[in-house]
Amino acid sequence: MERKTATSVSGFSVGENLESWILLLEEWLLTTERFYRLAGQNKGIYKYNERIHVSILAGAAWRCGWGAICEFKRKKSDTERAGRADLWIRSFDKDFLCEAKFKYVDEKANEALETLERACSDALKKYTEMETPCGVAFLCPSFYIEKNTLNPDIESFVDIIQDMKNNMQIDACAWCFPTYDRFEKGGCNDYLPGIALIVKIPPPNN
């Protein structure tokens, strides 16, 4: 039987629309790794909800010298009633209004793009003309535990989300699978080894 082996797998890829996010995603990787180390074994952030993931991304923004505010009032364009926005990020020269979604996905990343589109739709309803709308989907991949294969095929999952960027379906992606929680089991005979995010700047509504 194959033996369990674990090394940290992390990285990111950005397109022209989000070149400024190189700094942010570098810090997101470091912040996520730090969370795993500080929280201890079996405390991966994938076990929590969307708000936790947004707070980690906001923390990364502050760490790279930017600014960020989470969960603030913002009126939607399609209603008079005030709602809330997930995340506002100020880079060195641009404001981003980010709406986020969280989704458990299978090892083929099915439903990832649909989840991202929902985030983009929300961002388009809430951004102002001085901001850039931005959809973010946090993805927790679930890897089924097969009898003779103990190591989740993380590299194939990473290839899938990188292909989304290469095919211009998304503008950026990042992934973090730390050593510390690589073989944490879910509730359905599966591994939940880490977290990924995909990002898109949707075209403005006409």
What φ, ψ does residue 177 adopt, rounded to 5°?
A: -125, 85
* Percent share of the chain, pLDDT over 90: 61
Spatial separation of the C-alpha atoms in residues 72 and 20, rounded to whole Å: 24
> Exposed, middle or buried, 87 (CB in 10 Å: 0-12/13-18/19+)?
buried
Average pLDDT, the chain: 86
The better pLDDT of the pair 69, 145 is held by 69
pLDDT class for 1, splitting at 50, 70, 90? Answer: very low
Pairing of strands 82-90, 67-75: antiparallel
pLDDT for 125: 92
SS3 category, 188: coil
Residue range 105-117: average pLDDT? 95
pLDDT class for 124, splitting at 50, 70, 90? Answer: very high
